[in-house]
Amino acid sequence: MSSSNCHYLSIELFSEKFRIISDFEKVIEFFEILYPVSKRINSINGNFHDFKIEVDSKNEHSYTIIYDDNSIKIDSEKYLITNVYLNFMKFFPTKVKNFFLFHGAAFFHNNKGSIIVGPPGYGKSTLSLALKFEGLNLLSDELGAICYKDNKLYPYNKLTTLRQDSLRFFPTLSSFQAEFILMDDTKKYLVRNENKVMDDKKGFDLHNVFILSNPNQEKHKSNVSHLILEKFDENVLQKLENIDDFKLIKIDKRKKYPVIYFDSKAIFETKNNIQLLCKKNGIQILSMESARFSKPDFKREPQLIEIQKTTGISELCEYMKGGLNSGIAKYTFKENVFEIFVHLMKTFNNTKFFYLYPGELKQTTKLMLEMLS
């Protein structure tokens, strides 16, 4: 990386310092927009976790993302921001200490904190933005951060990201801070943040956990997931099929990056083995998400059903992004998740857990507001 073309941005997230170093100025510009001014660090001193993006010296349209022991080569500048963003979201939660991080939205109302978790495409960001427009205070549309020292919910200050197909719900949104192209060639937008930056040192008692789900599908019967790799051929497929309990369902080759659908009865171990395989062979995982839930019927009447604490915490742990000083990533071993499960069972004594079966957005928002009032 040449110093003349190098751009830097240093930020603090959950008391950890991160330094983004890039040959692409637009990457730094994106992160400057993504995170508010108060989170930037002017000092270059101290212990930083470095996250680098380098241009290939032989091909200016290729680049490499470097963090920890990962060196990920990408051959398309079109998906530059998406790849950088997704990899940073994999990287930084593993460095955060003293917090459990869950993939979901977080907000507070009347000084009571709540989290919404659920599979991709279930409307977490859309619902959280709708609740924000109704006067609730949004802590994050991406991460629910719970400090395991005081068991309180803390803000994750970044702009809300909204998928292209959700724009129809918010006709008053006339401008955006930035946009980027996803792997399926749809767009995602950074929505202007009209609220003041939240004090990330102030926590809120967690009173409610809402798990977005679908009443029409019998859950836990299968563990179908989708996998998108930056490089894929028959040799890679053969290696995947040699993984214990990996069962190939189908491969969708209609996009630039083929989507591999697979089933597994021991999903945590299988995903971890896929990560190890790809790391050993220098293959970049662009996406690996649970796909075992069918899409909800957004035209139906929404429902809110309170569930037992044991069931709720089990569901919540499925959306784990990081936690426990060891830096547990999203795809990890069951025993580590069980350690978190035991801790949450001991501490979440005043928290209620609900299945939220989403329906039409206005009705779902109304149902949530009635419950929280």
pTM of the model: 0.79
Model confidence band, residue 288 (pLDDT cutoffs 50, 70, 90): confident
Model confidence band, residue 195 (pLDDT cutoffs 50, 70, 90): low
Model confidence band, residue 326 (pLDDT cutoffs 50, 70, 90): very low
**CB under 8 A, 24+ apart: contacts of 276-281:** 277/239, 277/240, 277/243, 278/229, 279/69, 279/70, 281/236, 281/239
pLDDT over threshold 90, residue 369: yes
Question: What integer is the mean pLDDT of 286-290?
Answer: 73
* Domain residue limits, the chain: 3-94, 99-216+295-372, 225-290
Tokens encoding 244: 């214990």
- The closest alpha carbon to 1, from 52, 72, 59, 42, belongs to 52
- The CATH number assigned to the domain with range 99-216+295-372 reads 3.40.50
pLDDT over threshold 80, residue 236: yes
pLDDT in tens, 57-95: 778 778 999 998 888 888 888 889 999 998 998 889 888
Question: What integer is the mean pLDDT of 220-233?
Answer: 71
The pLDDT of residue 193 is 63
The pLDDT of residue 211 is 93
User: Which residue do the tokens 């909204």 mark?
Assistant: 162
Is 3.30.70 the CATH number for 225-290?
yes
Question: What integer is the mean pLDDT of 157-184?
Answer: 84
Residue 53 Cα distances to 64, 72, 159, angstroms: 6, 9, 22
Task: Tell me the C-alpha distance between 107 and 128, whole Å.
Answer: 8
